[in-house]
Structure 1
Amino acid sequence: MKLRFSLQALEPAVPGRARLYVRDLDDELELGDYAIAIQRSQNSYYLHSAQSWDASLRWLPQQGWTEHEEGIAVLLNADIVDSLLANASDAYQITLADSGGEELGRSPLKLDKAILPSTAGGHAQAMELTMPVAAAPETPAPEPVVETPPVVETVAPPAPEPVKVEMPAPNVDTVAPVEPPAKKGGMAKWIVLLVLLLTLLGAAAYWFYSQSAKDDSPAAPEAPEPKPAVVETDNCTMDKLADRPGLQFVQECVKESKTSEQWLAVIEEVKKAGQCDVAQRLYVNKAQSGDVKIALAYAREYDPQDHPAHACFSKPNPATAAYWYETVLLSDPDNAHAKARFQELSQ
């Protein structure tokens, strides 16, 4: 049975709650009691309870299934929703089984970005619903306005300006100053010669002083040698991968700015190093962020037509390949290759 799973936020969004939609491409699914198994891509573990994962298969029975246009749906609680939102770099696959434990189909889960964890709720919503609305205060009646008669101001006439009486100034006869008689003698030329001599002596003394100051001044300090430029460290090298856990490597590596070709080269090196879970995390992170080339490459890892022989992707998975081809079409609806492969794998 060909199934497609998508987890959608409620309208309006409720923290910790989301609705799981199961789309039946074969139109064979009927309303009944079903259980789901959730497997993550990090280490292929299954969800057992809230934030608890284990290698053994665990079925999670769900109650309250309803019908919708293309299949069935059920409301998931906060234990499952918070577990799915705990790590943004993980991808998940859901398997559906009936009440008898028979597996009906499996497919990757498509998560709605509008889903909120339960921690986003807090107490604000509860207080908003329970607090009574205070009644609006009554508007007091307007007080009567007492009209007062207009005040008439009396303007006093301006005081007369005093009359200035100008007195005639007395006539004073000006007396020209009498210059003293010039003294006779030849002292002036000796004074001029003495001033010139002192000026020459001062200039000579200043010249000798400036020359000695230049000789005694310290040499100018040499300019410091330029320091070499600091080279930024690439967090996606294999040396970094060998020195730290895989999850820490992915969290630091995805912060780098690289082209699609550079990311594919990093993923290829990680695969050669045998770090399959790290390669899957890098694929998922970049494919979900809208990189079409990465999503196409990841789809080919599972496509039976293009499946390469590699230890990290030992078996083809048509449902997973169809999911990532569909992811490509969300960003590039006119991609002919993704459209053709998605249609063929969905039949």
Structure 2
Amino acid sequence: MLKIELRPTREGTPGQGELLIQGWKQGASALEFAVRNNQNDGYLDGAGKWGASKYWNSLADVREEDGKLLAQVGACLVDPLLKDRTMTYLLYLQNADGSDQGVLSIDDSLLSSTAIDKTRREKSKQEQRQKEEQEKEQKEAQRAEQEEKQEEQEKQQKNKEEEQHRPDAPAEPAKRTQSRWLRWLLLLLFAILVAGLAWWLIPRFMQSPADIKAGGEAGACSAPVLAENPDDLALIQSCLKTSPSSDEVLALISAAKENKRCNLVQRLYAHKAQSGDAVIALAYAREYDPANFKAGGCIESADAETASYWYELALERDPSQSVARERLEALKK
């Protein structure tokens, strides 16, 4: 089975990617490939559309480096695959000398061709925001300058009037009374500020870290959330943000099976297994394994090749998986 990765080109051009293929032994001439969506068994055609029939595309500009095949591909392949990053895809490769297949891994930094327009729009919006901020700063500076001039004029006018009405003897008692009232006023304002700050901080100091975590993450990966969130992709994203354990993911998968949310089941399996969770990879392999397959569930039929891939991935993440090693050896016989 091949190891295949679709990653960005060195230039990082949106809509362009580079296929990295490891394990191919049949030469680099006259290669063709087909891509299958492992969730609904659709095949990608040359126009970037999904259909029921297997469609073979020519793989051009192929080069060999250190025993690996490298080939540049365009938006007709990149864009359809990036519409849903949680899907699992199989890539078939063939030429006159032989054929092979492997699960297609997609690099997280790969961008679709639509990112070009998005980048331009964001740049335009940023320039517009900068222009508006500059104009706002200029207006504020002008207003502040005018206010400062007005205050200075008013101060000069007030000083002039005070000079005209100043008595011969200074009124010291009146000044002391004014100073006393000012001190009391400042003390009152300070007391109000301290009381408000205490009212805001004390409940937060009394709240434990467990309560804080529970308030933000409770239920994101629990069975009740299935009834609250019918959107599979949104549910997966909110669950994975909490970094759930393998047991929590398996419990959610079990609940999704009972609720016939099969699309959610396969997406959770594939995403967690490809993210390095050996326990989930082993469980997913057993779903396809002919020795453990159960009809009437979310997996339509047993598939020894798919089971072998997930067993290999489980062993790659955790070489101590004895069950995965035994079943992999049995499937290869």
- Assess same fold via TM > 0.5: yes
The runs of 5 or more residues in structure 2 that have no matched partner are 120-214
Per-residue CA deviation, residues 246-274 of structure 1 (Å, 9 max, x unaligned), is 44444444445543222212212222333
Question: Compared with structure 1, are the counterparts of its residues 339 and 240 closer, same or farther at alpha carbon in structure 2 (3 Å cutoff)?
Answer: closer
Contact kept? 2:220, 2:238, Cα under 8 Å = no
Displacement of 1:277 in angstroms is 2.0
Q: 1:104 aligns with which of 99, 105, 110?
A: 99
Q: 2:88 aligns with which of 91, 98, 116?
A: 91
Partner of 1:45: 42
Question: Compared with structure 1, are the counterparts of its residues 13 and 330 closer, same or farther at alpha carbon in structure 2 (3 Å cutoff)?
Answer: farther
Q: Give the counterpart letter for 1:319 in structure 2.
A: E
Q: 2-side partners of 1:282 and 1:301: how far apart? A: 13
Partner of 1:300: 286
Contact kept? 2:19, 2:71, Cα under 8 Å = yes
Does residue 1:316 correspond to 2:286, yes or no? no
Per-residue CA deviation, residues 21-45 of structure 1 (Å, 9 max, x unaligned), is 33346xx513322322212234332
Q: Give the counterpart letter for 2:266 in structure 1.
A: Q
Q: Tell me which moved more, 58-67 or 335-344.
A: 335-344
Paired residues for 1:26-65 under 5 Å: 29-48=26-45, 52-65=49-62
**Structure with larger RCO (C-alpha < 8 A, sep 6+):** 1
Partner of 1:273: 259
The SS at the match of 1:293 is: helix
Partner of 1:115: 110
The structure whose Rg is larger is 1
Per-residue CA deviation, residues 32-83 of structure 1 (Å, 9 max, x unaligned), is 2232221223433222356633334333222223334446442211331232
Paired residues for 1:1-347 under 5 Å: 2-11=1-10, 13-24=12-23, 29-48=26-45, 52-70=49-67, 72-98=69-95, 104-119=99-114, 234=220, 236-237=222-223, 240-241=226-227, 244-255=230-241, 258-339=244-325, 341-342=327-328
Contact kept? 1:50, 1:83, Cα under 8 Å = no
Contact kept? 1:304, 1:316, Cα under 8 Å = yes
The SS at the match of 2:41 is: coil
Question: Compared with structure 1, are the counterparts of its residues 24 and 240 closer, same or farther at alpha carbon in structure 2 (3 Å cutoff)?
Answer: closer
Partner of 1:147: none
Contact kept? 1:238, 1:270, Cα under 8 Å = no
Displacement of 1:13 in angstroms is 4.4
Contact kept? 1:45, 1:55, Cα under 8 Å = yes
Contact kept? 2:88, 2:104, Cα under 8 Å = yes
Q: Which structure features the higher share of helix residues? A: 2
The runs of 5 or more residues in structure 1 that have no matched partner are 125-228
Question: Compared with structure 1, are the counterparts of its residues 271 and 120 closer, same or farther at alpha carbon in structure 2 (3 Å cutoff)?
Answer: same
Identity %: 32
TM-score between both structures, scaled by the size of structure 1: 0.55
Contact kept? 1:254, 1:282, Cα under 8 Å = no
Aligned residues: 239
Q: 1-side partners of 2:43 and 2:106: how far apart? A: 17
Q: 1-side partners of 2:118 and 2:245: how far apart? A: 44
Q: Give the counterpart letter for 1:108 in structure 2.
A: V
Displacement of 1:232 in angstroms is 5.5
Contact kept? 1:283, 1:294, Cα under 8 Å = yes
- The root-mean-square deviation of aligned C-alpha atoms, in Å, is 3.9
The SS at the match of 1:115 is: coil
